[in-house]
Structure 1
Amino acid sequence: MRERLKSNLSNNIITHLFAPSIEIEQYRSFESMMEVNKAHLVMLISEGIIKLEVGKEIMDSLEEIGEAGPEQLEIDPNLEDLYFNIEAVLINKVGKEIGGQLHTGRSRNDLYATVLRLNSRKSVLEICHLLIELRYTLLTLAEKYKNAVMTAYTHMQPAEPITLGHYLSAILYALDRDFSRFIAAFHRTNYSPLGAGATASTTFPINRKQTARLLGFINPMGNSLDGIASRDYLLEIVSAMNIFANNMSRLSQDLYIWSTDEFGLVEVDDSVAASSSIMPQKKNPITLEHIKAKSGHVLGGLVSMTSIMKNTPYGHSRDLAGESHKGFWEAVSEIKAAAVLMNETLDTVSFKEEQMIKRAKNNFSTVTELANVLVREGGISFREAHQIVGQLVSEMIEANTPVTKVTSEAIGKISYQLLGKELVITEVSINKALDPAENAKAKNAEGGPAPNTVELQLEAMRNKLHKDRKWLEEQYKVIEERKEDLSNFIK
């Protein structure tokens, strides 16, 4: 394998490049590589490129190697990579004349490009599974709390009354978009580079459609150079992971703030909290902290991969094929952990409904609706109503008067000062506007926080979840059916 080269590998090359790479790939890629080997062999036999009896002997040995598993491989880092180590075991079993025929019509370049797509495809489906679980947990919470009134915040200041169900529905819509991004990334990942060769395909009469089908891909990639050079699909996957992680981080940040003593709206379960070594009163929501931090690791993976790929030629190179996707696997690990932590935290979290509505009653978040009442019942413009209510709030805060003490007289006085006419608004209308529950209930425009509109949102999310779960099941089904097809070919 080093016929062109006159000296042995440097120990530093072995220690810092080949040995660490093989150690990782031995367990991450063994199963995928054996599938590629078998699919390629079946194709070589089907197309008459190698003789049936030779193919059967190779297949029997591949089966033995596969059943023994990656832990039984005696790794020699001088052989450079996992494939050559597997090939060495094969040749040791059947000889070079027979075992050496497996690599007919392909290169390590298209082999590893195919293995990487199989591995990353598997990771996308695993993330999709976790994302579906998280969305079901959120859906259950949203349905439970669709009538629980709370304050919505803008600029971290009290804005308007909504329901907790409405807030959680908003997160569901964000995660729905996340899932659609993973579907798109999966689709573009699920094409086979096998048969692209080193870069220029091969002169052997291979059947790329057959190997693509046996490996569960949609089709072969349309250009052999693109087959070995493309890694943009990894950037697309990790970009989707980054956005998903960002959405989870923002949810975590809200829960984190709401769990403080100052807000007192949320309490995480003891099972996902930590204590202090010195302060006995502490209950620390550590999962939320880790989820936020893991978002940074995913972003780091995206930045790392992009930085490496941008200076590689559009062909095969070690920085592209060996280095560029290291950040990808860390990102996969971190996003999976974050999704699991987020799901368990939400599955056990407690929301303090009495405290939520108490805050909504007293933090002036209801006065936007009071301005709306002035428009409807006072016959003035919204800008005039905004001016009246703004001055009213300012005076009440200065006098330390709670919002529940707003009177018709106070509104009439300020309207006379500002507009030259005294508005007469009934106490019933004022009290209804300032009731946070009535306030939220009245906001029944499409997408709003009223319980009936939230129920429509959740129904849409429920239907989409069922559809997405069916899509995921179908992808697994196709892959398993193709594995069965490959197994039947072998038999």
Structure 2
Amino acid sequence: MAQDQAAPPVVSLRERVKSPPAETMVESYYAPAVAAGIRFQFEPEVKIHLAHALMLAERKIVDRSDVAQIVATLMALRQTGVSALTIDYRQEDLYSYIERFLVERLGPATGGRLHTGRSRNDMHTTSWRLALRARILDLMNTVLRLRSTLLAHAETHIDTVMPGYTHTQHAQPISFGYYLLSAADLVERDFRRLAGALSCCDRSPLGSGALSTTGFPIDRDMTSRLLGFAGLVEVGYDGVAIRDDVHETIAAVAILMTGISRVATDLQSWNTMEYGFIELDDAYSSVSSIMPQKKNPQALEHVKAVAAIAIGALNTVLACSKNTALADVNDGVSAPNVPALEAIERVIRSLLVFDGALSSLKVHADVMRRSAEVGFGTATELADIIVRETGMSFRMAHNVVGRVVRETIEAGRIATDITTADLDAASQALFGHALGISDGSVRTALDPAENLKTRTVTGGPAPERMLDMLARRRARLEHDTEETDQVLRRIADADAQLEAQARQLIADMGLPVQPQIAR
């Protein structure tokens, strides 16, 4: 065959082996891996290819004219999308098809230069970090929104008196706002855990190579900046072998959803006819196919189910890495990615449901207050008044009130039925003397709203204290929102710089930006 009629040279990633992958390998591993790459890695990979190519040109590792052709082809591929690739699922990852695409269009002498000074190991950990970082930021913004909702409703319900519970029994009066404030603080700490996970994730492994960097004079700081990272995973071995970024993230997500599930459990109970404290909006409820009276708290049940999925994802991710070599291995480094990202996406959606359910919640304040009045949650304040007005020790006062509560329940009465005479009789029987507390003092002690007003110490539910705590938490929310926005602006600026440098290189080489690729 004449030289000008020869078939173009073919490059392959399977030269080391003679046979194609087994069908079982394709079905169980290759096809799912490529599908996951299409779903999660296409945009991150194209960014990485562009950043790496620009760095190769800047460092004069690859001729600028070759890099310009590669960059123009990559930008055309990005515009068209994955549909431009011919995927037969006989290669094990998305990168293989992108490289084949470049070689088919530019030839192996040009298209085959992109991978200079790089491994799939560092490229893959970088693309998964980019995908993870984007979802962490989405989740952080969702958590910020939920914090805002909780704080707004906490302020609305500062004076909405309800029973506080311990061991599912009436404990002391609180306000619904105080309960929501405690939930807001929990979610704020969840935000801090996610911010810590973001800090771990927001480091570029690109340039780590297979595990020991490369002999080419690459500029890792340049690619890190172009990809919008805050810095580097400095040690190459660390960059390709250790996935504590995904471990830390999914752990924070599981902790977040565990707390949310506990709040949802309370709300689900309080939504019942037996409590009647709250009513879930119709938009977040479902009905029965047979029982026409049913209005089921579907949103809360859904959130609790997603919490279980998040906890399961944490177990999956840690189990994938447990007992694997501290090196680049598929089970320890690659396998955790999809279950983690899928769990985060489900969590984000479920938190938006939870936020909507909270925002539209109907609160029956009168029912809450009545339950606080009759349920003996004011007994502690009654004992405290005895201590303050008579000088009796708290333990003795506790004995007196405990006896009165027992006798009141046995007589079929409620907390507000307790009188000064009841206290005097119990004290006389126990300690040989009456107390002589005024009826007004007893009524004040038995009033749940008055109970709240006395809790003015740091962290208490007194309305004045609540307003102070809410103000400080709103300030922290504003600060956290601004810091998250700064990270998003940094990434957006890096994207713009990457785009500008790519277009400039193409223009400098006199090449047009290739149009969308026809299929």
2:55 is aligned to 43
1:71 is aligned to 83
Of 488, 496, 516, the match for 1:484: 496
- 1:293 counterpart = 2:305: yes
1:458: Cα distance to partner? 1.2
2:212 is aligned to 200
- 1:375 counterpart = 2:366: no
Of 15, 18, 25, the match for 1:13: 25
User: What is the distance in 2 between the residues matched to 1:86 and 1:166?
Assistant: 55
2:343 is aligned to 331
User: What is the distance in 2 between the residues matched to 1:374 and 1:34?
Assistant: 73
1:454 is aligned to 466
Larger RCO: Structure 1 or Structure 2 (Cα < 8 Å, ≥ 6 residues apart)? 2
User: What is the distance in 2 between the residues matched to 1:117 and 1:217?
Assistant: 10
Of 398, 409, 421, the match for 2:410: 398
- 1:320 counterpart = 2:332: yes
- 1:145 counterpart = 2:138: no
1:387 is aligned to 399
2:481 is aligned to 469
Q: With the length of structure 2 as denominator, give the TM-score of the two structures.
A: 0.93
1:168: Cα distance to partner? 0.4
Cα distance change on mapping 1:410 and 1:27 into 2, 3 Å: closer
- 1:174 counterpart = 2:192: no
Aligned residues: 491
Equivalent residues in 2 for 1:214-363, closer than 5 Å:
214-363=226-375
For residue 454 of structure 1, give the secondary structure of its aligned residue in structure 2.
helix
User: What is the distance in 1 between the residues matched to 2:443 and 2:314?
Assistant: 52
Please, which runs of 5 or more residues in structure 1 have no aligned partner? none
Map Cα deviations across residues 159-215 of structure 1 (whole Å, 9 max, x no partner).
Answer: 111111100000000000000001111001111110111111100000111111111
1:415 is aligned to 427
Equivalent residues in 2 for 1:46-65, closer than 5 Å:
46-65=58-77
1:95 is aligned to 107
CA contact (8 A) 1:76 1:85 kept: no
Structure 1 range deviating more: 272-281 or 74-83: 74-83
For residue 13 of structure 1, give the secondary structure of its aligned residue in structure 2.
helix
CA contact (8 A) 2:242 2:333 kept: no
Please, which runs of 5 or more residues in structure 2 have no aligned partner? 1-12, 505-519
Structure 1 range deviating more: 73-82 or 268-277: 73-82
User: What is the distance in 2 between the residues matched to 1:393 and 1:79?
Assistant: 75
- 1:159 counterpart = 2:171: yes
Identity %: 36
User: What is the distance in 2 between the residues matched to 1:60 and 1:362?
Assistant: 75
1:446: Cα distance to partner? 1.0
1:34 is aligned to 46
Map Cα deviations across residues 461-491 of structure 1 (whole Å, 9 max, x no partner).
Answer: 1111101110111010000111111112112
* AA at the equivalent of 2:329: S
1:76: Cα distance to partner? 2.4
For residue 409 of structure 2, give the secondary structure of its aligned residue in structure 1.
helix
* AA at the equivalent of 1:100: G
CA contact (8 A) 1:300 1:327 kept: no
Map Cα deviations across residues 384-415 of structure 1 (whole Å, 9 max, x no partner).
Answer: 00000000001111111222222212211211
User: What is the distance in 2 between the residues matched to 1:118 and 1:272?
Assistant: 34
User: What is the distance in 1 between the residues matched to 2:193 and 2:344?
Assistant: 15
Structure 1 range deviating more: 249-258 or 308-317: 308-317
Q: With the length of structure 1 as denominator, give the TM-score of the two structures.
A: 0.98
Map Cα deviations across residues 85-111 of structure 1 (whole Å, 9 max, x no partner).
Answer: 011111111111001000000000000
For residue 300 of structure 1, give the secondary structure of its aligned residue in structure 2.
helix
User: What is the distance in 1 between the residues matched to 2:501 and 2:279?
Assistant: 56
For residue 5 of structure 1, give the secondary structure of its aligned residue in structure 2.
coil
1:79: Cα distance to partner? 2.4
1:321: Cα distance to partner? 3.2
1:441 is aligned to 453
- 1:3 counterpart = 2:15: yes
* AA at the equivalent of 2:373: K
* AA at the equivalent of 1:387: N
Map Cα deviations across residues 343-397 of structure 1 (whole Å, 9 max, x no partner).
Answer: 1110111110000001111111111100000000011000000000000001111
1:133 is aligned to 145
1:25 is aligned to 37
* AA at the equivalent of 2:362: S
Structure 1 range deviating more: 428-437 or 335-344: 335-344
Map Cα deviations across residues 285-343 of structure 1 (whole Å, 9 max, x no partner).
Answer: 01111111111110111111111101111111121233232321232122112211111
User: What is the distance in 2 between the residues matched to 1:417 and 1:250?
Assistant: 43
1:73: Cα distance to partner? 2.3
